[in-house]
Structure formats: C-alpha cells, structure tokens
C-alpha cells in the first residue's frame, strides 16, 4: 500500500531506493471499512493521512446536532483537519471513511522527523496541502447561489467518481439538502 505514496512522490521528483525505504518506514498502512472514523474529533488532530484507495469525508455536527459533510478527499490526496494539525487547535471535526478505504497514516511528530531525513517531502506535502486548500475553496465557492438541482449537477460534473462511491445521504449533506430532496432531483434528472 505504501507504494501509492512513493508513486505519487516519484511523479514529482526522482527518489532513490533508500529514500523510498525511509519514506515508507514513516507511514502506517490502514484499511478502513465504510463508516469507520480515522479521527473522531474532540481533541487536537495530530494525524496526516494519504489516501491510496477510497474516499474520506470531513464532517461535524452543526448547532442543531445534524451531521454536515464539509468535504471529500480521494486517492492521491493528503487529508487532515488543517487548522487543528497546523495550529494545534482543539476540534470537533471528524475524518471518516465514506466508503472502504486504504490509507497511510503519519503523526505530526513522525512527520517532522521524516522532514529531517527527507527535507524534500516538506515542500511536496506543503504544496499538496496548499493546492488542496485552494481547490476546496474554489469548489465550495462554485456552489454559492446555485439551486439544489444545479448544485447536484455541478457535484456530479466535478466529482463523477465520488458520486458513484459515496452514499446519497453524504452527497445531500455536502450540498446542504435533505436526502429526500436529492432523491427527487436525481429522479427528475434521469
């Protein structure tokens, strides 16, 4: 499973066999079933994940106690609760497998240790996280002012693979509509 990360890095730069071995030694492979929490919230998130297979969702309960999905991450993406991980802030936000997933996990402490041995990884991860954040903002902004049906069409166009792998309930939560409304929208669209 760790070869997915080395393949990702090799697409960006040449790395030696020794560097590959060091890189792989820092990450712990995990297989998660749909619905399993990778980070349960209620504390500071000091974990970073790299997704080899599957989809993860970032979610939390709103002021009414309703679970709201903030974002989805898929293969070849790093995932964490960025402000908690970077600033050491307490968070109620959670990371959960939206479908069966295979991920690589590293703690913040081990990440900094890896940076000492593989300094190029800091630049790679920082750039990936920055690009991910910009994409997240761009994507969320594209939904503003859209009717629910148009939001769903946009979701399908932007994330056709995720549409097929996560539940209707999760898509509805991300779009801020009820699953029943989304089911009606999907029926009308077919």
Per-residue pLDDT, 162: 93
Locate the domains of the chain by residue range.
3-139, 143-190
Phi-psi region of 65 (alpha: psi -120 to 50; beta: other; left: phi over 0): left
Per-residue model confidence as pLDDT tens for the chain (190 residues): 557 999 999 999 999 999 999 999 999 999 999 999 999 999 999 999 999 999 999 999 988 988 999 999 999 999 999 999 999 999 999 999 999 999 999 999 999 999 999 999 999 999 999 999 999 999 889 988 889 899 999 999 999 999 999 999 999 999 999 889 888 888 876 5
CATH C-level class of 3-139: mainly beta
pTM of the model: 0.92
Long-range contacts of 18-27 (CB under 8 A, 24+ apart): 19/118, 22/114, 22/117, 22/118, 23/114, 23/118, 23/121, 26/106, 26/110, 26/111, 26/113, 26/114, 27/2, 27/104, 27/105, 27/106
């Amino acid at each position: 499973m760790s070869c997915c990360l080395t393949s990702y890095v090799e697409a960006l730069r040449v790395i030696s066999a020794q560097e590959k071995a060091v890189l792989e030694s820092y990450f712990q492979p995990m297989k998660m079933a749909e619905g399993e929490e990778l980070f349960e919230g209620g504390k500071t998130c000091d974990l970073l994940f790299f997704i080899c297979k599957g989809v993860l969702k970032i979610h939390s309960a709103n002021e009414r106690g309703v679970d709201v999905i903030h974002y989805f991450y898929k293969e070849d993406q790093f995932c964490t609760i960025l402000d908690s991980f970077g600033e050491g802030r307490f968070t109620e936000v959670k990371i959960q497998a939206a479908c069966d997933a295979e991920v690589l996990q590293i703690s913040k402490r081990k990440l900094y240790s890896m940076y000492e041995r593989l300094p190029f990884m800091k630049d790679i991860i920082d750039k990936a996280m920055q690009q991910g954040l910009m994409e997240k903002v761009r994507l969320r902004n594209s939904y503003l002012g859209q009717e629910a049906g148009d939001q769903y069409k946009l979701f399908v166009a932007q994330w056709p693979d995720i549409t097929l792998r996560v539940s209707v309930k999760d898509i509805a939560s991300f779009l801020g509509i009820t699953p029943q409304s989304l089911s009606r929208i999907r029926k009308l669209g077919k």
